[in-house]
Amino acid sequence: MKRNVILIGALLLLPLQTAFAQSASSASSAPATLYDRVKDEVDNELTDNQIEPEVSAYVRALFKQTENLDLTDDDIRNALKGTMPAACSNIVKCLDVVKNIQRVVGDEERVRELGRDLQLNATSNELPVSNLPGRSLQLSRDMQGLVSIWSADNFASSSSSTSQSSSSTSASSASSLSPLPIRTKDVDPQVMQPLLQQLGQALDDLSNEERIAAVWHYQYGYRLVRGDRYPDYPAPYVDSASTDGTERQYLFKTQADVEAALAKIWAAILGDTFNPPLQPNETVLYIFPDDLMKDTLPDNVIVWARMDTKGKNDNHPLGDVGLQWKTPLEPVQPSLLSDEDDLPILGGNYPPEPVIPPQSTGQKPQPLDGRGLCTDPTQQRGYLCRAYVIANATDTCPDVTSASKPVDPTAITLVTCRKPSSYPTTIAGPDVCRDIAYQPPQSFDPNTQAKLNIHCEDTCSSNDEAGVTKPKTANGTIDICIKNNPVDIPPDYALFHELHHAYQLSDQKPGFNPEKTGDPNRDNVGCCEVEGEAYRAQADMMERDGIFKNMTPIDGIPVNAQTYAEAYTNFSCGPRDGFQGCYTSYHYTPNFMDALENMNANSIHGQTCNQIFKNVGGQPQAKDQRVQDLIDVLLQRKDVCDPGTVDQYSNRIGNNMCFIGQCLEQTLELHRVTGAQSPATVGDESFPWNDPLTGVALGNQLVNPPLNASPLPVYRPELVMNQLDTALCQLDGLPPKTPPILCAIQSQQVFQYPLTDATSMLMQLAQNVQDEQDANANLLTLAPAFGARIGTDLYTTYLQTASRSLSDVISQAVKLFKDMTSVSFPTQMCPTDQSLPPPVSSQGSSSIPSGS
């Protein structure tokens, strides 16, 4: 019974460490299918004259030690059938020997059967959620595969080119999917075949008992066992009471040949390179062909290998090579013979409490028995491997995000509350994925990107202009000078104007100046284009700020955004700067120009250059969000859709959507009326995201919708136990009681029945015991099924809720794609610049350009 308790304790304490193995003694003769393995086990249990070799050896050693009898296996088999052993001379003593053999064998076999039964329950429930290749069902990996397909990031398991000249974005089979951040890679069978052969031989050379223990010993990797992954993952705790001569002697035993074989596999994959290179914490899980493992390893044994980056400690914290069972069927049974001297082990004690290092050391918890599970990059995300954030019971909304309670990203927080201000915000319009690094990081290219150098000066040019933008320097810097106290225009608008010039130059090569191409005609057109864009944007901003409100016409010309932009564009590209002027709708008189210069427009942020900036985290930022947005766009500008550009990103839904979004934006931004504005057609509003009533650019701030959190399924163990108690009591026909032992059959209730005769009463008393045994047997049958269904229900509840949101998204996506088929594109292009009327210098018409 003591050994029985030890086994149960071991299974409960080490649900993942102790497990099952094949029952056959050698790999070559072992059954090849799951059913055959189970059948052989049952066969061994049922056959009276069959006895497990370990039990037989134990009985022989035991009777040698206690009775000084040299028994053979045949003697023991015969004793089980009631035949006295030949070595036994005294008939009276022999009868006792036979009885004792039957009792000892029966006891030991019962313990071993119990171990198998318990582990069978664990296997049937845990195997489906295992993630090792080759096992049945891989739900977690499949879910991660889904995330991998949908996510927008640059963890690259596959890449695609989306340049205009190539078309490598293509469909791929489901089998090529890999979970995030885990890739998979097929091993080279030619390289691995001899290594697995050696591993299989090392395992075959072990006894059945040692082989079973060895597979479980190395289930989380030989490097973990050896401490090679320290300090990220220290070696498992080995208690001092599990040495040779104890029942747990094989649990932690080092098998040198097996370790050496696993080390060779590790060495074979250590030099592998990956394209793209592995990210920190990203791992590669190697796939060994099933046939290769069947041919080389003992039956039901599989090998796994995982590679990662070197890590900060240069120790490959997540990389390892280990063993596992294809279908766990047998636990590490309590040892019956000492590995040291082959003496029988007559019993044992519970192992001592594992030692957990103090939390103050800041170390991760030691991988205690079973905690090796948490050294797996996927499994460590599960409930068993993450701490719970325990909130104050009186605090219904614990503020776990406060500075005093730093957030542990690995912890599970059951209840959190977020303030509205804590929602992430992003800027609508430009650069849809600016806050997502969906492309691999690339170095700064001065030919296509730009840095800004904005500074305030008393004077920026000899013409006393409010602002000046210089061409890009060789290192990609665009210099913007803003006059400290501009007279004719507030510095906000001047900076916004100059930023548009910077935007025009930002994707051009250093030194490019559209107004100095060497061709006077092109220079004039270029000046009109770039100044026109900048003045139209500036005028639009001023109009929305109400600068032109209540302005009266001057010389019959209305003062509004259009006339302001036209007049100043024409002036800036006029004789003063050596140009011939631009197309205008009106003939702007000197009187009109003087009036514009003396408008005395006021800025809401300040009249001096320094006043329009604020200090955010030590960095100056424009107070006006529109200005700051444009600065941000400029600094992160990358025109992914420029002709000939080759863009690389992982072929995922999110990444593709980012690319499409950026192409759309780039299209609208580069070929628009005004820089950084996104009218899709001529008649569209320039800033569709602005507040239409006030014109305030608050609409530039987009609040992301909150994440649709997947609720954790309710787990109420006390209720579950009560239900089980109720079930037990119902079996006995009684109301629920706790503990359920109170529902046991009351023997004295027989006396409450009318007395018929003594025989009937005795029969009823005897039947009482049977009734109770039946109820207990039923409970034993019921409990695993009960527990399995509760566990499955928890899993199902969570995953179905989580997948429902995804189903909704997919439904919408399908609708969108169907709608795309009904889109009709215009057959006529917008008119080009050449179709516009030529610039006029005389009293002009009042016509408005039909397109630009």
Partner 1 sequence: MLASCSNIFTSPNTGTDTQALASCTGVGSMFEKIPFDDWAKDYHSTVAQVVEAHMDSLNNTAKLPLTCTAPDYASMVRPTGPLHDLAAELSPWKDDAQKLQALSETEIGPVLDEYLRVYECALNERKNFLQIRVQQSQNGGNDYSNSIEVARQSAIIDHQLALARMALDRTLQIVGGADRLRPLALDIECLKRTSLDIRNILGLVSQVSACLPRIRDARGSLRDLPDPSSPSP
Nearest partner of 344 among 416, 267, 249, judged by Cα: 249
Nearest to partner 1 of 352, 831 (CB atom): 831
Segment lying near partner 1 (by CB under 8 A), choices 158-166, 239-247, 588-596, 601-609: 158-166
Written as six digits, the tokens of 38 are: 């189970």
The reply to whether 86 sits near partner 1 by the rule CB under 8 A is no
Residue among 292 and 551 whose Cβ is closer to partner 1: 292
Q: How far is the CB of 789 from partner 1 (least distance, A)?
A: 8
| 710 touches partner 1 by CB under 8 A | no
Q: Which is nearer to partner 1, 86 or 788 (CB)?
A: 788
| 175 versus 240: smaller Cβ distance to partner 1 | 175
Q: Looking at beta carbons only, is 129 or 373 nearer to partner 1?
A: 129
Query: Of the two residues 121 and 608, which places its CB atom closer to partner 1 in the complex?
Result: 121
Answer for the pair 663, 587: CB distance below 8 angstroms, yes or no.
Answer: no
Give φ, ψ of 617 to 5 degrees.
Answer: 60, 35
Q: Toward partner 1, which CB reaches closer, 354 or 784?
A: 784
Strands (DSSP E) found in 355-474: 388-389, 412-413, 425-427, 451-457, 467-469
Site string for partner 1, 321-340 (x = CB under 8 A): ------x-------------
Q: What residues from 607 to 646 belong to the interface with partner 1 (CB under 8 A)?
A: 640-644
Segment interacting with partner 1 (CB under 8 A) among 11-19, 174-182, 233-241, 606-614: 174-182
Quick one: which of 652, 676, 677, 725 contacts partner 1 (CB under 8 A)? Answer: 652
Instruction: Tokens for 125, please give them.
Output: 């429930």
Of 49, 50, 65, 167, which one interacts with partner 1 (CB under 8 A)?
Answer: 167
Verify binding: residue 512, partner 1, rule CB under 8 A: yes
Which is nearer to partner 1, 755 or 829 (by Cβ)? 829
- Secondary structure (DSSP) of 617-683: TTEEEESSHHHHHHHHHHHT---TTSTT---EEE--HHHHHHHHHHHHHHHHHHTSSSTT---SSTT
Site stretch for partner 1 (CB under 8 A), options 10-18, 35-43, 257-265, 611-619: 35-43
> Among residues 2, 26, 47, 738, which is the contact residue for partner 1, using CB under 8 A?
47
Q: What is the per-residue binding string for partner 1 in 338-357, x denoting contact by CB under 8 A?
A: --------------------
Contact characters 531-550, partner 1, x per CB under 8 A:
--------------------
Q: Which amino acid, residue 444?
A: F
Longest dimension (CA), the chain: 139
Residue 342, burial from CB neighbour count under 10 angstroms (0-12, 13-18, 19+): exposed
Question: H helices within 704-757, ranges in order?
Answer: 717-731
31 residue type, one letter: P
In whole angstroms, the minimum distance from the beta carbon of 792 to partner 1 comes to 5
Cα separations in angstroms, 132 against 139, 284, 288, 446, 797: 11, 13, 11, 47, 24
| The one segment of 156-164, 486-494, 573-581, 702-710 that binds partner 1 by CB under 8 A | 156-164
Q: What is the closest distance, in whole angstroms, from the C-beta atom of residue 478 to partner 1 in the complex?
A: 16
Residue 238 CB, shortest distance to partner 1, in Å, is: 31
Residue (822 or 846) nearer to partner 1, CB: 822
CB of residue 679 to partner 1, shortest distance in Å: 11
DSSP string, 166-227: --------GGG---TTEEEEE--HHHHHHHHHHHHHHHHTS-HHHHHHHHHHTTT-HHHHHT
Cis peptide before 181 (omega within 30 of 0): yes
3-state SS, one letter per residue, for 512-529:
CCCCCCCCHHHHHHHHHH
Region near partner 1 per CB under 8 A, out of 69-77, 191-199, 404-412, 830-838: 830-838
**Residue 208 is a binding residue for partner 1 (CB under 8 A):** no
Query: Is 134 a binder of partner 1 (CB under 8 A)?
Result: yes
State in angstroms the smallest separation of the CB of 198 from partner 1. 26
Residue selected from 26, 50, 65, 136 as contacting partner 1 according to rule CB under 8 A: 136
- The correct pick among 361, 615, 832, 843 for binding partner 1 (CB under 8 A) is 832
**114 touches partner 1 by CB under 8 A:** no
From 659, 686, 729, 740, residue interacting with partner 1 (rule: CB under 8 A): 659
Cβ burial of 819 (10 Å; 0-12, 13-18, 19+) is: exposed
Query: According to CB under 8 A, which residues from 798 to 827 bind partner 1?
Result: 799-800, 803, 806-807, 810, 813-814, 817, 820
Dist. CA 376–CA 385, nearest whole Å: 10
Contact 236, 368 (CB under 8 A): yes
Enumerate residues 238-297 that contact partner 1 by CB under 8 A. none
Residue 155 beta carbon to partner 1: minimum distance, rounded to whole angstroms? 15
The answer to whether residue 656 forms part of the interface with partner 1 (CB under 8 A) is yes
Neighbours of 115 (CB within 10 A): 23
Residue 696 binds to partner 1 (criterion: CB under 8 A): no
Label the pairing between strands 648-650 and 619-622: unpaired
Nearer to partner 1, 448 or 768 (CB): 448
686 close to 677: Cβ distance less than 8 angstroms: yes
Interface residue with partner 1 among 22, 56, 154, 160 (CB under 8 A) is 160
Q: Which of residues 773-792 bind partner 1 (CB under 8 A)?
A: 788-789, 792
- Please, are residues 97 and 84 in contact by the beta-carbon 8 Å criterion? yes
Distance CA 507, CA 408 (A): 42
Q: Write out the H or E segment, with its range, that includes residue 283.
A: strand 283-287
Please answer whether residues 614 and 621 qualify as being in contact, where contact means their C-beta atoms are separated by less than 8 angstroms.
Answer: yes
Measured from the CB of residue 762, what is the shortest distance to partner 1 in angstroms? 32
The residue whose two tokens read 């010309």 is: 557
- State how far the Cα of 171 lies from the Cα of 350, in Å rounded to an integer: 56
